[in-house]
Structure 1
C-alpha cells in the first residue's frame, strides 16, 4: 500500500472490553499523540464478533455480505488501514479471547487476510510485574502467522503498578514511550 506520511490510518485493536481499561486508555493516548496526518482509530466492535466458525465464513468467496456484520466491519476497518496497533492486556498468561478471535477472523481468507503484509505492533499493559510480555509475544506470533508484517522491535509492556494510580495520559514517561511506538510504526508504512 502506498501512503504518504501525511495520510496514514492505523487501526487500533484493544484486548480489553472494559470501557475504562488502562489498555483502552493507552490506545486513546496513542491516538492523541499521533503526528499530524496520522489517524489512529480504535475499532469498537471486538466484543460483537462471533467466535470464529468456518461454517459462517465463506472462505472461498468471502464476500462482505456473507459474513456477520461485526466481522465485515472489522475486515473493512483493517483493510482500509495502513497499519495496525494492538493494545492488549494479558489474561491468565496468554492472549485475551477477543484478540485471538479477531486474529482468526482477520486471517481469512487464508493467505489474503485484511492485514496481510501490513505493519503491526503489539503493546499494552497488565497487572503482572512483566506488563503482559507473554501475551504480547503470543499475539505477535499469531498475527505473524496470520499474515501481518509484525514489527518485533516495537515493544512496550507496562506493569500497571508502575503507573502508581495515574492514568496513562498523566504519566510523562509512558506518554513518551507511546509517542515513540507510534512514530516507529508510522515509519514502517511504505
Structure 2
C-alpha cells in the first residue's frame, strides 16, 4: 500500500529554495511513499467565511481541500517572512481547517520543514506553522523537524537534492512522516 504525502510550499517564487526542497522531497520519497507537490496556492482567495459556503466554495479552495483529503499526510515547507509564517501557507491551513471539526487536516500526520536565509533556518515560521496546523486539527509531528539556515548561500549553486547532508536529513523526515502516515492508514 502506497502512502500519499501532499507537499505545500509557503513561497510562490519560482526560484524558491523551499520549492527546491519540496522538489527534492518528491525525488527522495522512499518506496511505498509518493510525495505530491501541490500547485495552485496562489489561486486560493484569502479565507472568508462568507465565501466558504457548501456547494459554492471557490474552485481553487475546493481543489486544495480535495487534494488534502486524498492524502495520508502533509509535508509543509515554510520559509520565514518577517519572522513568521508566510500568508499563502497560513491561508491554505485556514481553508483546510474548515468545516470546523471536520476539516481536511483533521487527524492527518503533518510535518513542517524549511529553509531560510537567516542563521536559524526559519524556525520561528516553522514553529508558527506547526501551531496553526495543530489548532486546525492536524496530528503535528513535533519531533520531525528540519530547519536549514543560510539558504541563499547554501543553495546558490547547488539544488537541495544534490546536497548530501540535506538529502539525508530530508529523506529521514519523509521516512518518519511515512511511518506515521502508514500507521494512520492501517488503523
Same fold (TM > 0.5): yes
Task: Please tell me the root mean square deviation across aligned C-alpha atoms, in Å.
Answer: 1.1
Q: Counterpart of 1:3?
A: none
Separation in 1 of the partners of 2:115 and 2:19?
A: 10
Please state how far the C-alpha of 1:38 moved relative to its aligned partner.
1.1
Separation in 2 of the partners of 1:164 and 1:99?
A: 22
Q: Counterpart of 2:91?
A: 101
Separation in 2 of the partners of 1:98 and 1:39?
A: 23
Separation in 1 of the partners of 2:26 and 2:52?
A: 31
Residue of 172, 179, 187 corresponding to 2:179 = 187
Task: Please give the secondary structure, in 2, of the residue aligned with 1:140.
Answer: helix
Structure 1: segments with no counterpart, 5+ residues: 1-5
Separation in 2 of the partners of 1:162 and 1:17?
A: 20
Q: TM-score, normalised on structure 1? A: 0.92
CA 1:18/1:7 → structure 2, altered by over 3 Å: closer, same or farther?
Answer: same
Q: TM-score, normalised on structure 2? A: 0.93
- Ranges of 4+ aligned residues in structure 1 off by more than 2 Å: none
Residue of 140, 163, 176 corresponding to 1:171 = 163
Q: Counterpart of 1:44?
A: 39
How many equivalent residue pairs? Answer: 180
Matched, 1:144 2:150: no
Q: Counterpart of 1:31?
A: 26
Matched, 1:86 2:76: yes
